[in-house]
Structure 1
Amino acid sequence: MGLLKRLRERRLNRELAAYRVELLDTHYHEVEHMYRRMRVWRHDWRNHIQTMKVLATDGDLAKLRDYLDTLDDELTRLDTPVKTGNTMADAILNSKMSLAAERGIDVRVDAHIPVKLDIPDLDLCSIIGNLFDNAIEASAGLPEGRRMIRVYMAMKRSMLYLSFTNTASEGKQPKVAGRFRTTKRMAGHGLGLAHVDEIVRRLDGWVDRNSEDGAFTTEILLPQG
């Protein structure tokens, strides 16, 4: 029995390692895509200025106003609305918010990290990215008017507190072997929650999940200093 348990643990560790690599690669490409769009826009800025100069010289104020409105809309889409004080958290939160918006999900983030964290950037990226991915997946399957994600991050004394709440299908989500299961499947297994749990455990943190009718919440506390 002991041998079987060790073999299962080794298999789970291998699956988590492969999942971690795939997850980080996915997050990297999402963030890179967001910043690539911003670099392209900055590269085109000189052309935008020249175009506006021509419209101003011609006295075509109506077209100039329309052009400025278009640029303003584009800047709004490219701007990073969340500025937590932590570069890694900003990158992953804003990239995930962009993905959620494309799926018609109402996302609201209230995140403030005024101190330098002891948490490794890769662990922070994995926790936020995983929780956001699960929230997007759960909300995306609902009617558009019901899709919602709420994120809260702040320091609670010497602890970093994270809370993710998303709408979910009707009914309380059941537990399997004492834990909730993500519906996400990578390499045939739902490893998202297990990966978050592994990081929180390694960092001596605390995690709690709660499934109520139509909503799912994950809360995490991570000690700092």
Structure 2
Amino acid sequence: MNDVVLTEIPRLYTAIAEWAACTIYILMLKKRFRGVTLITTIISALLIQCGVQLVAGTLPNTFWILGMTVAIGMMLLYIHYCCEVTWINAGYYCVMTFIIAEFAASLEWQLYYYTVCTTGNTSLLLELFVLITVYGAIYFGLFLLEKKQMLKLHQERVLTKELLSVIAIGVSVFFVSNLSFIYSNTPFSSPITKEVFNIRTLVDLSGLAILFVYHILRREIQAKYEIDAMQNILQSQYMQYRKSSESIDIINRKYHDLKHQIAVLRAEEDSGKRLAFLDEMESEIKTYEAQNKTGNTVVDTVLTGKSMTCQKYDIELTCVVDGKLLNFMHVMDICTILGNALDNAIECEIQIEEKKKRLIHVAVLSKKGFIVLRFENYFEGKLKFENNLPTTTKAQTSYHGYGIKSIRYTAEKYGGWITINQKGNWFELNVMIPSPKVE
């Protein structure tokens, strides 16, 4: 038995391991395209990765690092080309998939070597059986593990320092696991084939374990950060509701008094200007009363408070709202959806120079078994998305999208979802919630 040949993992098997690891993550991440285009890209990537590894295998040993660098570069391009991720995110997943592939290829070939040594069977059928079994088990387990973790986050943003951390771990693991192929007489390497296999596989496994612990911990921290941020926004909207409720009680009494005063003044002889002024006051009262009688006191309070903000900034707010449809929802959830949606719309309208274009429309209605909350506002420019959320124009990007995330999180509590569209110069946010069953 030729120990040297058996120690070297076939380049073709390494290429398959690298391609399979990348493909698993691509299937779980948000993709740029689907269907035939995606399938064609996946098959093409397999052929290219195999070609790169086979060509690298023909190069002298001095070009070994160069060949591995090119293979890793192809993995990076494959992930970034197929998925809607930044280069930093793609680099992060590239390191993860590379170490996973190193472990899978090492374990598969070690088990095959052990089987050959114990049985003497060198058939191609046995080789393929070990390959399919080991790769299938590892990548199926990876899919189950990562799919469960990815459900905890709506999106994942990798920081530069996090990418540098996983690169440092990946480089260290790769160097130590392959040290025996370069220097066999060191405290961390061996000239004996069996020990070479053990060192390589165990180091790859240890490195993979470290990477996954780091990977899961940073996701848990990010998920906690998102929840805390959304809770802060939710609490803020609720506090705004409480303050608005107290203020509106005073305003209600004041408007009630004004109605009687206007009736008295109309009975007196007065000038045309006085009548015009009184007409304007009465119109404002009717507008206020219309927005303040939706059938849900929480909705009334939020809409009235936001309408006062709109008047301050010369924004025309129109509402067609059946508040009774939201009576089943918790007060804080109503505040979260209405408050965040209107705050975002108002912030957008304030930036529009022409005051006549500052328009917001709110509708709450029942449609085909769903309660639809629709928020529309005039929008100038083209809407851009990042991870299914509109890109922020705020200076503080660390809280990017948390208002929308809070709305989506609240909708999902009731089995609903949100959609965001741009129709011409109109931004449209739809919150769809299944109508509660009447018992």
Taking structure 2 as the reference length, the TM-score comes to 0.44
Residue 16 of structure 1: aligned partner? 230
Indicate if the aligned counterparts of 2:294 and 2:324 stay in contact, CA closer than 8 A.
Answer: yes
Residue 203 of structure 1: aligned partner? 414
Partner Cα separation in structure 1 for residue 368 and residue 303 of structure 2: 23
1:98-156 deviation per Cα after TM superposition (whole angstroms, max 9, x unaligned): 22122111222112245563221221121011111111111111121211111111112
Indicate if the aligned counterparts of 2:237 and 2:336 stay in contact, CA closer than 8 A.
Answer: yes
Report the CA distance shift for 1:181/1:102 in structure 2 as closer, same or farther (over 3 A).
same
Of 397, 403, 417, the residue aligned with 1:192 is 403
Indicate if the aligned counterparts of 1:184 and 1:192 stay in contact, CA closer than 8 A.
Answer: no
SS of residue in 1 equivalent to 2:311 = helix
Larger radius of gyration: 2
Report the CA distance shift for 1:116/1:7 in structure 2 as closer, same or farther (over 3 A).
closer
Stretch deviating more after TM superposition (108-117 or 209-218): 108-117
Report the CA distance shift for 1:155/1:2 in structure 2 as closer, same or farther (over 3 A).
same
SS of residue in 1 equivalent to 2:290 = coil
Indicate if the aligned counterparts of 2:241 and 2:301 stay in contact, CA closer than 8 A.
Answer: no
Residue 360 of structure 2: aligned partner? 149
Residue 108 of structure 2: aligned partner? none
Report the CA distance shift for 1:207/1:30 in structure 2 as closer, same or farther (over 3 A).
same
Residue 140 of structure 2: aligned partner? none
Amino acid corresponding to residue 372 of structure 2 in structure 1: Y
1:173-212 deviation per Cα after TM superposition (whole angstroms, max 9, x unaligned): 1112232245468895232111111101111102100134
Partner Cα separation in structure 2 for residue 105 and residue 44 of structure 1: 24
Residue 162 of structure 2: aligned partner? none
Q: Which runs of 5+ in 1 are unaligned?
A: none
Residue 81 of structure 1: aligned partner? 290
1:157 is displaced (CA, Å) by 4.0
Q: Higher helix share goes to which structure?
A: 2
Amino acid corresponding to residue 100 of structure 1 in structure 2: C
Partner Cα separation in structure 1 for residue 341 and residue 241 of structure 2: 12
| In the alignment, structure 1 residue 217 sits paired with structure 2 residue 217 | no
| In the alignment, structure 1 residue 6 sits paired with structure 2 residue 214 | no
Cα-Cα RMSD: 3.0
Partner Cα separation in structure 1 for residue 331 and residue 341 of structure 2: 15
Amino acid corresponding to residue 76 of structure 1 in structure 2: S
Partner Cα separation in structure 1 for residue 412 and residue 334 of structure 2: 13
Spell out the pairing of 1:154-165 with structure 2 (5 A cutoff): 154-165=365-376
Q: Percent same amino acid among aligned pairs?
A: 20
Higher RCO (Cα < 8 Å, 6 or more apart):
1
Partner Cα separation in structure 2 for residue 80 and residue 25 of structure 1: 23
Q: Higher strand share goes to which structure?
A: 1
Indicate if the aligned counterparts of 2:237 and 2:335 stay in contact, CA closer than 8 A.
Answer: no
1:14-73 deviation per Cα after TM superposition (whole angstroms, max 9, x unaligned): 222222222221233234333322223445777x48x948x96xxx6226x876765553
Partner Cα separation in structure 2 for residue 115 and residue 44 of structure 1: 32
Q: Which runs of 5+ in 2 are unaligned?
A: 1-214
Amino acid corresponding to residue 149 of structure 1 in structure 2: I
Partner Cα separation in structure 2 for residue 35 and residue 67 of structure 1: 28
1:74 is displaced (CA, Å) by 3.2
Partner Cα separation in structure 2 for residue 6 and residue 145 of structure 1: 46
Q: How many residues align?
A: 217
Amino acid corresponding to residue 201 of structure 1 in structure 2: E
1:2 is displaced (CA, Å) by 0.7
